[in-house]
Amino acid sequence: METLVNFVIDFFRLLKGLFSWMLDGFLFVLKTVLYLPFDGILTVITAFVSSLDVGQLLFNSASTWGLLPPQMLYVINAVGFPQGLTLVAYAIVIRMTLNLIPAALTRL
């Protein structure tokens, strides 16, 4: 009788382990399926944002126009104004992109 009880206990322990293994596999596949497209979208956004160099563009435009005296150009560059403009432009682009994502998902 003890052998039969041990068999039933081991059988259900094996069944529980198998179910746990299958659930872990299913959750891994689900996580991978949800992660890859989101990671792809974020990679594209990162590449787009990193390709923008608004501060350098504005600084080069201002220096090529020659409207500013060299002392002012030096102060603007020393303070880091072009890098600040770049950060503000990145923040605006990221904010606009994040505003579009929920709108696209809620209108399905």
Number of domains in the chain: 2
Please tell me whether the overall predicted TM-score, pTM, comes out greater than 0.85 for this model.
Answer: no
Q: What's the pLDDT at 18?
A: 92
Pair 57, 106 in one domain = yes
pLDDT tens profile 78-103: 898 878 887 888 888 888 877 777 76
Sequential DSSP letters for 35-86? HHHHHHHHHHHHHHHHH--HHHHHHHHHHHHT-S-HHHHHHHHHHTHHHHHH
Average pLDDT over residues 22-46: 86
Across all residues in the chain, what is the average pLDDT? 80
Give, in degrees to the nearest 5, the angle at Cα 89 between 87 and 95: 100
Pair 68, 23 in one domain = no
Pair 94, 63 in one domain = yes
Q: Can you give the residue range of the structural domain that contains 100?
A: 52-108
* Gap between the Cα atoms of 52 and 25, Å rounded: 40
Encoded amino acid at 50, one letter: S
Pair 25, 58 in one domain = no
Is the residue at 86 inside a domain?
Answer: yes
Band of the pLDDT at 61, cuts 50, 70, 90? low
H/E run at residue 96: helix 81-106
Pair 56, 108 in one domain = yes
* Gap between the Cα atoms of 25 and 64, Å rounded: 60
